[in-house]
Amino acid sequence: MSREAAHSPAGATPARHPRGLYVLFATEMWERFSFYTMLALFTLYLQDKAEGFGWTAAQATTLRANYLGAVFFSPIVGGWLADRFLGYRRAVMIGGVFFIAGHLLLAFPTIGIVYAALVCLVIGNGLFKPNVSTIVGNLYPKGSHLRDRGYNIFYMGINLGATVGPIVVEFVHRYYGFHPSFAVAAVGMAISVLTVIVFRKDIEPGDRRKGHEDVEDASPPTAIDAVPAGRRIVALVVIYLISVVFWMLFFQNGSTLTYFANDNTDWQFSGIISNAIEPFFVIAFSLPLVWLWKKLDEKGLEPSTTTKIAMGMFLMAFAYFVMYFAGKAGGDTGKVSPWWLVSCYALMGLAEITLSPMALSLVSKVAPAKVRGLMMGLWFVATGLGGKLTQIGVYWTEWKHSTFFAVLGGMSLATAFLLVLVLKPLKRAMPGV
């Protein structure tokens, strides 16, 4: 048996993923079912005059942007609490309870309760999200080539939930309305928490517990261990800043792209169901991409994690240039074929799996062990900044649709070229990843 296999925290070998990965796959699948169910409904609910509050698109977009900013800033606190006090598994459990409460509160039709629900969801995400992702990385030994592919598999769970959720609530909403649809999200979250309870033994090897402060200490050293912790953290911060732009563009899927699907797409569905298209493509592309990385790795040709992230930014730019032409095709106000939106989401899905799971893997490999939960939390802070910047959507009714999409595509393209310029120094700060 190799030293890597012998000292794996979860018994993972170079040819096998740990059982805990599949437990966390299911845990995250049901949590994302709940999360994206809520996001698919939220802006349209706020604007609805019968069941909601009759807000304008700009008002709904602003509240959603503030919520996304807060919900992804909270993991920095949740990651720190898990590092110092709670442990990762316990933090996930507590976060799940807050999530359930938040989704249930949204089933009640008063604006005060809506704000209380958002507070619960922010707390729940802060405790849940970074620590699930950290446990995934901790299940693998240092230097394992399986870790990137493990995060790709984990990411399929995220997007399976994100695909099924909007499809389910499209029909629940059609027959029962918004409030029962929010209750459906609470059910999904309850299943997620139960999964952690029932299969706790499979994920405990990746937990941080008192007396077991460094889950990877038994593993042999790798090149990254020779890099000072401060330099590794600075390199991660550069990646975080790049990702802010990515998430600003990605999270248009629950606001301006949903408005386009609802008002400017020639089909028989509401904008709710459009939120299932992009995660469907993530699922469709994930296994072929894992297979491709494996084959390239066998030949010594697999791109570095940072190169994959740059590829994701270029793909996101192409997605928004597709929407620029979609806006032009409809004269910026008319309806167009749904294939424009489908094509955009196909590119966006490929961009997401090229960038997001790779960045999660990068954090787990590069962050010093003592602050790994905190650094995973900072990744989600970057996601939150991107979410807050989705407030650019207030210009949706001020600019032409084609102009709006061209601006977003240009931002992504410029960011991709900037990342290419700094790839070499990033690789020197993160050898072997």
Per-residue confidence band for 215, with pLDDT thresholds at 50, 70 and 90: low
Question: What tokens appear for 407 in the block?
Answer: 């601006």
Contacts for 187 with CB less than 8 Å, ≥ 6 apart: none
- Please give the helix or strand (H or E) that residue 260 lies within, else none: helix 256-263
Judge whether 127 and 92 are in contact, CB under 8 Å.
Answer: yes
How do residues 358-376 score in pLDDT, each as one tens digit? 787 788 788 887 787 778 7
Question: How many CB atoms are located within 10 Å of the residue 62 CB?
Answer: 18
pLDDT value at residue 11:
42
CA distance 220 to 141: 9
Judge whether 130 and 380 are in contact, CB under 8 Å.
Answer: yes
Percent of the chain with pLDDT over 70: 94
Per-residue confidence band for 402, with pLDDT thresholds at 50, 70 and 90: very high
How do residues 6-38 score in pLDDT, each as one tens digit? 344 444 445 688 899 999 999 999 999 999 899
163-166: list long-range contacts, CB under 8 Å, 24+ apart.
163/276, 163/279, 163/280, 163/282, 163/283, 164/33, 164/276, 165/32, 165/33, 165/34, 165/35, 165/36, 165/37, 165/40, 165/275, 165/276, 166/36, 166/37, 166/40, 166/272, 166/273, 166/274, 166/275, 166/276
How do residues 133-186 score in pLDDT, each as one tens digit? 889 888 888 777 787 778 878 878 888 999 999 999 999 999 999 999 999 999
Judge whether 330 and 266 are in contact, CB under 8 Å.
Answer: no
Residue that wins the pLDDT comparison between 134 and 55: 55
Question: What tokens appear for 333 in the block?
Answer: 């106000």
Calculate the alpha carbon distances from 47 to 64, 102, 255, 268, 387 in Å: 12, 20, 12, 20, 20
Mean pLDDT confidence for 254-259: 92
Per-residue confidence band for 2, with pLDDT thresholds at 50, 70 and 90: very low
Mean pLDDT confidence for 231-246: 91
Domains of the chain: 13-209+223-429 (1.20.1250.20)
Closest CA to 420 of 304, 319, 296: 304
Residue that wins the pLDDT comparison between 215 and 406: 406
pLDDT value at residue 218:
52
Closest CA to 150 of 350, 278, 16: 16
Judge whether 376 and 92 are in contact, CB under 8 Å.
Answer: no
pLDDT value at residue 121:
96
Listing DSSP states for 414-426 in one string gives HHHHHHHHTHHHH
pLDDT value at residue 206:
83
Which of 98-102, 224-228, 420-424 has the lowest average pLDDT? 224-228
How do residues 323-356 score in pLDDT, each as one tens digit? 999 999 999 999 999 999 999 999 999 999 888 8
pLDDT value at residue 219:
58
Per-residue confidence band for 277, with pLDDT thresholds at 50, 70 and 90: very high
Taking the model in full, what pTM does it have? 0.78
pLDDT value at residue 266:
96
